[in-house]
Amino acid sequence: MLLTEGQVSDYRGAATVLPVLPPDAAAMIADRGYDSDWFREALTDLDITPCIPGRKNRKVPIAYDTKLYKQRNLVERMFGRLKDWRRIATRYDRCAHTFMSAICIAATVIFWL
C-alpha cells in the first residue's frame, strides 16, 4: 500500500504508484481520475492491462473490461468501512507510520466482524 498526502492529485499519485507495482500484476483497475494516455502507456510498458474507463470528455471512447471493472466495488466498500472509523476518516495521526498502523488495526477488526 502506498500512502500519499490527501491533497495529491490522481496524476501525481499514479506516478508514485508505478515503481512499486508488483511485477506479476495482470491488470490495474482504477477510476476515471487515472485516465491519461501517459499512465496507460506506462502500464502497457510494464505488461499490465489498464482497466480504466475513459473520461466523459474524451473524443474517442476507451475500451475496457466492464466485468473486471465491477470488481473495483469490493475495494470501494472496504474503504467505506474503514472510513466508519473516525480516526481514519479524519486522519488524526499525522505520522504516516502511525496512520498505516491504525488502518491495519481497523482492517483486522473489520475482517473478524
The grid coordinates listed for 74 are 469490493
pTM over 0.85: no
Predicted pLDDT at 8: 67
The ranges assigned to domains in the chain are 10-112
At residue 86, the pLDDT reads 87
- pLDDT at 26 (0 to 100): 92
**pLDDT tens digits, 14-67:** 888 888 888 899 999 988 888 889 999 999 999 999 999 998 989 998 999 999
Residue type, 56: K
User: CA–CA separation, 67 vs 69, rounded Å?
Assistant: 5
**Candidates 2.40.50, 1.10.150, 3.30.420, 3.40.50; correct CATH number of 10-112?**
3.30.420
Residues 6+ apart with CB under 8 A from 16: 2, 4
Q: What is the pLDDT of residue 65?
A: 92
Average pLDDT, the chain: 85
The 3-state DSSP class for residue 77 equals: helix
Give the pLDDT confidence score for residue 99 in this predicted structure.
Answer: 85
Question: Percentage helix, strand, coil, to 5, in the chain?
Answer: 50, 5, 40
